[in-house]
Amino acid sequence: MLPPGFYAGTFPDSAVGTVHRAPGDYPSGQEGDVLMVESTVIGIPCPGLNGGPMFRHSEAFSFQVATDDQAETDRLWNAIVSNGGQESVCGWYRDPWGLSWQITPRALTAAIADPDRAAARRAFEAMMQMSKIDIAAIEAARRG
């Protein structure tokens, strides 16, 4: 289950809402266990269900967070990675609870959408070599 308190303290426009607990024992748990948490993560309503070990997260769903600068990119990336997350490629990582995230600087989005296809390709190729996105390196690649 998602740790909504961690996300609410890390990402803007996030909050923990109602916590629903089991009113009695059940086959895979007991009275008082958290069954569901109503929360908002980066402005998206996210009901977190306690599916137990049978239901795992996959990269078929991920959060994408657009950042304005390197400081914001670093803060969000480091908040997850330094708490047990696992780096991936191209701005992706998986948090300690199995949820995939993309920390995507707006500068990267602009660079790979550049109408100058050669500039876009250089920025894209630079991104493909990165884990956490380095905005200065993306902009340098875009300029050639």
Compute the distance between CA of residue 19 and CA of residue 4 in angstroms, rounded to an integer.
10
The better pLDDT of the pair 83, 21 is held by 21
Domain 1-54 identical in fold to domain 56-144:
yes
3-state secondary structure labels for all residues of 6-37: HHHHHCCCCEEEEEEECCCCECCECCCCEEEE
Alpha-carbon gap, residue 125 to 129, rounded angstroms: 7
Return the residue matching tokens 């969000």.
Answer: 76
The confidence band for 4, taking pLDDT boundaries of 50, 70 and 90, is: low
CATH of 56-144, one of 3.90.650.10, 3.10.180.10, 3.40.50.261, 3.40.50.2300: 3.10.180.10
Q: Show the CA angle centred on residue 138, arms to residues 137 and 140, nearest 5°.
A: 65
CATH architecture of 1-54: Roll (3.10)
Question: Domain spans of the chain?
Answer: 1-54, 56-144
The two three-digit tokens of residue 120, written as one number: 């876009």
> Around Cβ 108, how many Cβ atoms within 10 Å?
26
Whole-model pTM over 0.75: yes
DSSP-derived secondary structure letter, 57: -
pLDDT band at 114 (very low <50, low <70, confident <90, very high): very high
Question: What is the pLDDT confidence band of residue 137, given thresholds at 50, 70 and 90?
Answer: very high
What does R_g of the chain's alpha carbons equal in angstroms? 18
> Which of 1-10, 23-32, 62-71, 97-106 is predicted with the least confidence, judged by mean pLDDT?
1-10
